[in-house]
C-alpha cells in the first residue's frame, strides 16, 4: 500500500496486504485482483458457496451468473438411468398365484385381431409356433402361408413338417409386435407358442415363478398375467396324449 504507514488507521487491518490502514472488504487492490481471476475463469470452484459464507467474505464479488457451465455427461447419464423404471420381480408379484408350483406360463394375447387363449410363453424356444386350432380359428388358407421347410418335433415326439409360415401382429395393450409364426399340423394343448423373438422385440422379461411377463412401454412397466388354471389344464391334456407314458417333447428340442 502506498502512503505513510504512520498515518494509517491502526484499528483497520487488510488481510490481503497484511498491513493496517483499511479493511479487507474495502481493499480495491484485492477486488481488482479478483476481477481479473473471474475474467480468466480461475474461480469456477467457488460457484457453489461453502458453508459459513458471509457478506463480509472477500469473495462476494463473484457472480454465479457469469459462469454458464455444461452439465457433467456422467451426471446426465445417471439421471437418465434413474428416470427409467427397472423391470424386476418381488414377493409382491406372487400375490394371486398358487405357490409353490412348477406351472408353465400361459397367457392370453391378441393375435391377428383376435383374443387368443392358451398361448405358451417359452423363452427356451427360438421360433413362434401356431397350432391347428388357431390356424382354423383365423380362417387361414394354404395360400396365406410362406414356405418353411425345417422340420420340428411335436409334443408327442413326432417329426412334423410345417405347413408354412405367416406374419401376424401380436398386440399387448397398445403395443404391437409383428411375429413370424411357423404353422404346424400337429396336436398341442396350446393354441400357439411365443418365444424369444417376440420377447426380444417387446423387450419383455417373463417369470414362470411369478406367472407374469413384464415390459416397458411409455416409460412404465406393464404386465401380462399368466393363467395357472389354464396352464394346468394344458399339462393334463398333454400327459393324457403321451403314448405308453413316454415323456412329451416340445418344438424347442429341434431348434
Q: What is the DSSP annotation of 106-117? A: EEEEEETTEEEE
* pLDDT greater than 80 at residue 217: yes
* pLDDT greater than 90 at residue 66: no
* pLDDT greater than 70 at residue 80: no
Q: What share of the chain is helix, strand, coil (3-state, %, to 5)?
A: 30, 25, 45
Choose the weakest-confidence range: 118-127, 148-157, 232-241.
148-157
* pLDDT greater than 90 at residue 178: yes
Half-sphere exposure of 16 (CA within 13 A, CB side): 18
pLDDT computed for residue 59 by the predictor: 37
pLDDT computed for residue 18 by the predictor: 73
Read off the pLDDT band of 81 (50, 70, 90): low
Mean pLDDT of 15-32: 77
- Residue from 164, 224, 172, 159 nearest 201 by CA: 172
Query: What tens digit of pLDDT does each residue of 109-147 get?
Result: 999 999 999 999 999 899 999 999 999 999 999 999 999
pLDDT computed for residue 41 by the predictor: 67
Q: How far apart are the first and last CA of the chain?
A: 89
Q: How far is Cα 8 from Cα 54, in angstroms, rounded to an integer?
A: 27
* pLDDT greater than 70 at residue 148: yes
Mean pLDDT of 196-220: 95
Highest mean pLDDT among 81-90, 233-242, 243-252 belongs to: 233-242
* pLDDT greater than 70 at residue 24: yes
- Residue from 35, 81, 75 nearest 58 by CA: 35
Instruction: Report whether the peptide linkage leading into residue 135 is cis, meaning its omega lies within 30 degrees of zero.
Output: no
* pLDDT greater than 70 at residue 212: yes
Mean pLDDT of 23-44: 73
Mean pLDDT of 55-82: 49
Query: What tens digit of pLDDT does each residue of 85-99 get?
Result: 889 999 999 999 999
Per-residue cell: 100: 409353490
Please enumerate in sequence order all residues whose Cβ is within 8 A of that of 131, keeping only pairs 6 or more positions apart, or say none.
184, 186, 187, 188, 190, 191, 192
Q: Where are the domains of the chain?
A: 9-66, 96-254
Q: Is residue 238 classed as helix, strand or coil in its secondary structure? A: helix
Mean pLDDT of 70-87: 64
Other Cβ atoms within 10 Å of 31 Cβ, number: 15
Mean pLDDT of 27-55: 63
- Residue from 33, 81, 97, 94 nearest 229 by CA: 97
What is 96-254's CATH number?
Answer: 2.40.70.10
Of residues 8 and 112, more confidently modeled: 112
Q: What is the pTM of this model?
A: 0.62
Amino acid at each position: 500500500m502506498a502512503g505513510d504507514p504512520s498515518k494509517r488507521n491502526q484499528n483497520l487491518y487488510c488481510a490481503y496486504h497484511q498491513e493496517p490502514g483499511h479493511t479487507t472488504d474495502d481493499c480495491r487492490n484485492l477486488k481488482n485482483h479478483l476481477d481479473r481471476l473471474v475474467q480468466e475463469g480461475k474461480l469456477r470452484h467457488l460457484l457453489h458457496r461453502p458453508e459459513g459464507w458471509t457478506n463480509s467474505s472477500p469473495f462476494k464479488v463473484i457472480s454465479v451468473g457469469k459462469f454458464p457451465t455444461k452439465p457433467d455427461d456422467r451426471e446426465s447419464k445417471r439421471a437418465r438411468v434413474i428416470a427409467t423404471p427397472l423391470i424386476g420381480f418381488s414377493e409382491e408379484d406372487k400375490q394371486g398365484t398358487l405357490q409353490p408350483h412348477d406351472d408353465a406360463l400361459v397367457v392370453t394375447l391378441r393375435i391377428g385381431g383376435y383374443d387368443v387363449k392358451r398361448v405358451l410363453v417359452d423363452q427356451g424356444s427360438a421360433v413362434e409356433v401356431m397350432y391347428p386350432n388357431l390356424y382354423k380359428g383365423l380362417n387361414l388358407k394354404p395360400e396365406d402361408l410362406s414356405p418353411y421347410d425345417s422340420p420340428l418335433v411335436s409334443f408327442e415326439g413326432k417329426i412334423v413338417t410345417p405347413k408354412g409360415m405367416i406374419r401376424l401382429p401380436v398386440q399387448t395393450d397398445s403395443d404391437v409386435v409383428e411375429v413370424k409364426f411357423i404353422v404346424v399340423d400337429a396336436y398341442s394343448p396350446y393354441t400357439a407358442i411365443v418365444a424369444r423373438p417376440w420377447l426380444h422385440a417387446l423387450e419383455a422379461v417373463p417369470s414362470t415363478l411369478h406367472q407374469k411377463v413384464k415390459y416397458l412401454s411409455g416409460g412404465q412397466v406393464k404386465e401380462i398375467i399368466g393363467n395357472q388354471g389354464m396352464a394346468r389344464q394344458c399339462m393334463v391334456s398333454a400327459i393324457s396324449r403321451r403314448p405308453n407314458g413316454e415323456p412329451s417333447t416340445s418344438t424347442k428340442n429341434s431348434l
